[in-house]
Amino acid sequence: MEQVIKIENVHKWYKMGENSLEVLKGVSLQVDEGEFLAILGPSGSGKSTLMNIIGCMDDFQEGQYWLAGEPVHEMNDAQLTYMRNAQIGFIFQKYHLIGKYTVLQNVMMPLLIRGYSHRKAAEIAAERLEMLEMGNRLSHKPNELSGGQQQRVAIARALVGHPKLLLADEPTGALDSATGREVLKLFEELNEKGHTIVMITHDLQVASHAKRIVKIIDGELFEEGEPAKASSM
């Protein structure tokens, strides 16, 4: 079983004038291929900070991080950009689709960045949208779709380049509960097909769709079942 994420003793702090604020206090985490993991924690616990590090979007002061076996802690900006495009499919609370582009163009984007021809990218993107039941909306703009449809397009975009990791930050946060459950069901189906998913959320109901839950409390991680020192959860 290949290891997708290996994080060892990562510390992250922000300098605030004279003082520094430690936001991640020695985080270690391993995620194997095929896992569906939820990182569950209250507001301010460090979820977005950790997501930004896992997503190769932010640096850290101490510790080591390997993504798909590659040492992220040793990479320069160009290498980090490459990792983001090649290894990770991002899914955000607010979809982050490009408003001036059509559904099809949005999903083609990761492939065009990788140098696929326009024709090949369009063919693969259309196929992927078809699989997510969005094949009849290819020329719509994002603002001509429902929230649930926009998230399906974002999931199609995240999947189109066959990333090693799907990384989702509150993916149902902007959806009503029924539509949110549909998106979570889709995640479960994708995981059954072998996709590795890390989902960040403050909502236990949402987290309970994952196969494994890790709690984050005040910058520290606890496997579910391990005693957490805080009583707030």
Ligand X SMILES: Nc1ncnc2c1ncn2[C@@H]1O[C@H](COP(=O)(O)OP(=O)(O)OP(=O)(O)O)[C@@H](O)[C@H]1O
Per CB under 6 A, residues contacting ligand X are 14, 21, 23, 41, 43-49, 202
The answer to whether residues 67 and 163 touch, using CB atoms and an 8 Å cutoff, is no
Binding partner at 21 among ligand X, Mg ion, none, C-beta below 5 to 8 Å by kind: ligand X
> In whole angstroms, what separates CA 220 from the centre of its chain?
19
The answer to whether residues 128 and 156 touch, using CB atoms and an 8 Å cutoff, is yes
C-beta closer to ligand X: residue 7 or 159:
7
Enumerate residues 47-86 that contact Mg ion by CB under 5 A.
Answer: 47-48
C-beta closer to Mg ion: residue 3 or 93:
93
Q: Tell me how far apart the terminal alpha carbons of the chain are, to the nearest angstrom.
A: 32
CA 229/CA 39 separation, integer angstroms: 17
CA 174/CA 106 separation, integer angstroms: 20
Binding partner at 45 among Mg ion, ligand X, none, C-beta below 5 to 8 Å by kind: ligand X
Binding segment (CB under 5 A) for Mg ion, from list 43-51, 113-121, 177-185, 215-223 = 43-51
Q: What angle do CA 201, 196, 4 make, to 5 degrees?
A: 105
C-beta closer to ligand X: residue 15 or 193:
15
CB of 151 to Mg ion, least distance (A): 18
CB of 41 to ligand X, least distance (A): 6
CB of 126 to Mg ion, least distance (A): 33
CB of 230 to Mg ion, least distance (A): 18
Closest by CA position to 210, among listed 29, 37, 6, 5: 37
CB of 50 to ligand X, least distance (A): 7
CA 39/CA 27 separation, integer angstroms: 12
The answer to whether residues 209 and 190 touch, using CB atoms and an 8 Å cutoff, is no
CB of 109 to Mg ion, least distance (A): 24
Q: Strand 212-217 vs strand 88-92: parallel, antiparallel, or unpaired? A: unpaired
C-beta closer to ligand X: residue 14 or 208:
14
C-beta closer to ligand X: residue 202 or 209:
202
C-beta closer to Mg ion: residue 47 or 215:
47
Q: Which SS3 state, helix, strand or coil, does residue 6 take?
A: strand
User: Where do contacts with Mg ion occur on this chain (CB under 5 A)?
Assistant: 47-48
